[in-house]
Amino acid sequence: MALTRGFSGRSRGPQDTRLPPGQYDAGAAWPVLHVESTPSIDTARWTFEVDGLVDTPVRWSWEEIRALPGSRYEGAIHCVTTWSKFGMRFDGVSVDTLLDIAGVGADAAFALARSHTGYTTNLPLDDLTGGKAWVVWDVDGEPLQDIHGGPARLLVPHLYFWKSAKWVSGLTLLAEDQQGFWERNGYHDHGDPWREQRYQGDR
């Protein structure tokens, strides 16, 4: 690592300890980054499934998933493109609730999340359980817009945000890790922002 000649950074107070390394506070902006054309998904056709290594594969309709006990996340999100955003409030259902209904199989250790667009992303099962992950449909009290993954997206806020699959359609539980879209394209299998696990090879 080399110092950059002449660079002191924008004026700043003490280091913001809420910011993981290499991140900046995006403030009020919520940048949009996805690789597909933005879909518009009718909630009448929206479904969410949990399958793979579960006791009983389950599929929920829009009405069915919204009838489950609600759960809220309040806090930060961190994108690998280096913005972080604080004070977000998301409402939806805890992934714990969904997995409890399906019943997690004894050999399940990983999950592959998928979207109605065909997007996929892989996560260790431990990162989806224990109150760390949600399927959400409201942000700051308003329905999630199409460009942010509405009607519903996965939310795994302690990992980089590409793990929080937009337009989420299901989770497949697996015994072995199976790479998703960005992971096959060079991004990290885990994606912990506090360890700067941005790309394959980062420890």
Partner 1 sequence: MTAVVRGRAPHPGPWQTARVTGIRRETPTAKSFTLTLSEPRAFWPGQHMIVRLTAPDGYRAQRSYSIASAPSGAAELDLTVELLPDGEVSRFLHDAVEVGDVLDVRGPIGGHFAWDLRPALGVAGGSGIVPLMSMLRHARALGEPDLFRLVVSVRGPEDLYYAAEVRGPETSIAFTRAVPDGYARPPGRLTADDLAAALDPDRELYVCGSTAFCDAATRLAEAAGVPTGRIRVERFGVTG
Interaction site with partner 1 (CB under 8 A): 1-10, 12, 15, 21-22, 24, 26, 29, 31-38, 81-83, 118, 147, 181-182, 184-186, 199-201
Label residue 5 exposed, middle or buried (CB < 10 Å: 0-12, 13-18, 19+).
exposed
Residue nearer to partner 1 on the CB measure, 69 or 201: 201
Residue nearer to partner 1 on the CB measure, 51 or 189: 189
DSSP characters over 25-66: E-TT------SSPPP---TTT-EEEEEESBSS-EEEEHHHHH
Residue nearer to partner 1 on the CB measure, 96 or 192: 192
CB of 61 to partner 1, least distance (A): 24
Residue nearer to partner 1 on the CB measure, 60 or 182: 182
Among 115, 105, 121, which Cα is nearest to 175's? 105
Distances (CA, A) of 164 to 8, 85, 105: 34, 14, 23
CB of 86 to partner 1, least distance (A): 16
Residue nearer to partner 1 on the CB measure, 29 or 44: 29
Tokens of 147: 């460009």
CB of 28 to partner 1, least distance (A): 10
- Give the containing element (helix H, strand E) for 96: helix 95-102
CB of 194 to partner 1, least distance (A): 15
Distances (CA, A) of 35 to 147, 155, 175: 11, 18, 28
CB of 1 to partner 1, least distance (A): 6
